[in-house]
Structure formats: structure tokens, C-alpha cells
Structure 1
Amino acid sequence: MNQKPTFDDIFKQNERRIHYQIHKMNIRDPHQEFFQEGLVALWNAYETYQPDKGSMATYFNYMIRNRLIDRMRRDNRRDEIKKLAAHEQQTQYTDGNYHRGTEGARPITANSPLPLDDSNLWKNLQSQLTDKQWKWVNYAIIQEMPYKKIAELEHTTVDAVKNWGRQVKKKLNNPYFHEMLSLDEINMSSSVH
């Protein structure tokens, strides 16, 4: 009569097999999490092994290796989700249309407001900007849309939209550009009233 060995016996004989698979796959395991996965795989293999299907050692290697691969995939997927969530949170926090403070986000208000109803100003400005820069002005300034929404509408990334905004801001900070658009006169006349 061929009696099935106990799991303790199987563990003593195959503990090095788990370490070997971890080492072979170049897994750093300082907290023994992968070893625990390998141990669970060994237990499952012990419970489901059928002698007529093949060698026990081959089956154990197969089960341990695949369990470790599954664990690595789960960990990688979780890390990727964390990175995406952190990036999304950072993007929302650094969206250039809001001041951030302890009381929350509030829209940025201009120190010297541009007359939003001056169609000549907007046409003049539009003529001096690229299509993408004008889209940023239209969406972010005039329509007060968040960068994420602009990126969705334009089928691009939030970083691309931010870059459009940086380009516009660089132009608007140039004194020559102010003179060309007559912004100084508009700001002077609006501050007199």
C-alpha cells in the first residue's frame, strides 16, 4: 500500500525548491512575501497532485513558478494603478487655473482684468497665437474649463494642454507682445474707470 506523504515531509523536501524559483526569477523578497506565495503554491500542488499525470517535482516547479509570476503581475498592476492615481492627483493639484491653499482650491483672478466682452481684443490676440495656444485661451481662460476636460476634448494629454498654456503665458509676459496687442492701454483705461 502506497501511503501519501504528509505535507510536513513534502515541505522539508521542497523548501529549497521555493527559494530556487525565487532566486531564478531574480525576485527580491525581504519580507518573505514571495516565499509565502511559493508555500501556498506548494500546498496547492500537494493537494492536487495526481501521480498518473507526471512527475511530482515537475508539477511542484510548475505550480510554484506560476504562482510567483501571478504575484509579480498583481504587484506590478497595483503599483501601476498607484502611479496613475498619484499622477492624476498631482495633475489636479497643479492645474494652473486655481490657487491652492488650506481652505481648498479657488479660481485665479487676474490683478488687472481683461475686458472679456472686447471682441477686438480677442480677435487680435487670436491672430498672434497658434491654433493650440488659442484653444488654451478659449477653453482655459474664456470658458474656464479644467485642463483634464480640455485634454479630453482635444484628444491629447493634460501635459500637452499645460504646455500650450505655458507658451501663451510666456507670450503674454513679453512687453513687446503687450505693445503689439495694446494690452497696456486696455489695462490703463480699465484701471482709470
Structure 2
Amino acid sequence: MSNGNKFTFEEIVNQNEKRIHYYIYQLKIRDNNEDFYSEGLFALWNAYETYEPNKGPMGTYFNFTIKNRLIDQIRKEVQAQEKLKHYTLKNKFQFNDGNYLSGLASNKPILGSKDITLGNDELWDQLETNLTNKQWKWVNYYILNDMSVKEIAEKEGVTVEAVKSWGKETRKKLRDPDFREKIGWIIDDYS
């Protein structure tokens, strides 16, 4: 700060602490661990250190800096939660995709959709020929185009439950060894 009045940070906090609490309240932040309050204090300190009197009132600069720092912190936390959610879902399906062949002694995984290469046109043609129209739509949209059940329902103008039913019927059919043999999807015996 270049104006000759130097204040201690303690004085700045005493005079401006309410600004931090105001923006925590305004942004509807739950600050149980006072992480956002600490971030607000840090923003207040940075604003005090970088304030230039010829660019406007100090209070306005404090408000701007504190509010934007808190918003940035909210964004960081949301991104961290999204990454954790994505990682959790990814690993859940990677390690437990629910795709197991039951045996007497143990459960062993069977090949999943990732083991079918998209380049195997003959297999996809056989699959399309031997599935109902709705079942093929589910395979095409859900597996090949990675669409969500909700997106498929909207695209086809049906309920989410209808699309789930298509998927259930399709998975049941794909688990049937006779059906797999019919379409040429031979899986080695794991026993």
C-alpha cells in the first residue's frame, strides 16, 4: 500500500472482518471448519497489500477481492468433489462391474464389453440381427455411443424405466451361452 497510513493487519481485520462473514453468508457457505473464513482473511491481507488508492475506494477493493476469492474456493471444492465422484465411479466399475460367471468353487469374471473390439463389424452385425429393435438401440446408444439412460429416453421419447428395461433384457440375452454361440461371441471356459 502506497498511502502513508500503514495499519497493522490486526487493525485491518478488526475493521473489515464483517466483510468476510457477510460474503460467507451471502454465498450460503457452510464453513464448519472455518476454511472459507481463513480464505477470506488471506484475501483481505492480499487486498490490503496490493491496494492502490488511485484506483478506487479500499472498501470496494476489499469486497471485490474477498467475494471473488470465496467464489474461487467454492469452485475448487466442487471440482475436487467431481473428480472424487468420477474416480470412485470409474474404479467401482473397473474392480466390480458385476459381470461374473458363477462356479462351484469361486466366482470368476467373464469378458466385459471392453473385451469386444468395436472393429469387429461381423460381431456387431450378428448382434444387431439377433436383438430386437429396442435392444439394439440400447446397445448402440448405451454401449457404443456412451449415452446415459436419461439421454436415451429423451432421444427416443420414452421413459427412463423403459430404457432400463431394454438394457435388462439385452444383458440377460448377452449372458446366455447359447445366444453368444449363435452370434459368434465365444468365451473360453474359465473352469
CA distance in 2, matches of 1:134, 1:96: 21
Question: Closer, same or farther in 2 for the Cα pair 1:94/1:163, shift >3 Å?
Answer: farther
Q: Tell me, what secondary structure is at the counterpart of 1:27?
A: coil
- After TM superposition, where is structure 1 displaced by more than 6 Å over at least 4 residues in a row? 134-137, 158-163
* Structure ID, larger Rg: 1
The code of the aligned residue for 2:70 comes to L
- Alpha-carbon distance between aligned partners in 2 of 1:69 and 1:155, rounded to the nearest angstrom: 35
2-structure distance, mates of 1:20, 1:87: 37
Tell me, yes or no, if the aligned pair for 1:96 and 1:162 is still in contact at 8 Å: no
Aligned-pair CA distance for 1:3: 2.6
* CA drift at 1:83: 1.0
- Displacement of 1:49 in angstroms is 0.6
Q: Tell me the equivalent position of 1:39.
A: 41
Question: What is residue 76 of structure 1 aligned with on the other side?
Answer: 78
- The answer for the alignment partner of 2:62 in structure 1 is 60
Q: Give the TM-score taking structure 1 as reference length.
A: 0.59
Q: Which residue of 2 aligns with 1:113?
A: none
Distance 1:18 1:133, change over 3 A: same
Q: Gaps spanning 5+ residues in structure 2: where?
A: 112-125, 153-162, 182-191
Aligned counterpart for 2:146 among listed residues 156, 161, 165: 156
Amino acid at match of 2:74: M
Residues 3 and 163 (structure 1 numbering): CA distance in 2 closer, same or farther, change over 3 Å?
same
Residue 26 (structure 2) aligns with:
24
Q: Does 1:86 align with 2:76?
A: no
Scaled by the length of structure 2, what TM-score is found? Answer: 0.60
| Aligned-residue RMSD, C-alpha | 3.9
Structure 1: distance between partners of 2:5 and 2:174: 85
User: Counterparts of 2:99 and 2:30 in 1: how far apart (Å)?
Assistant: 43
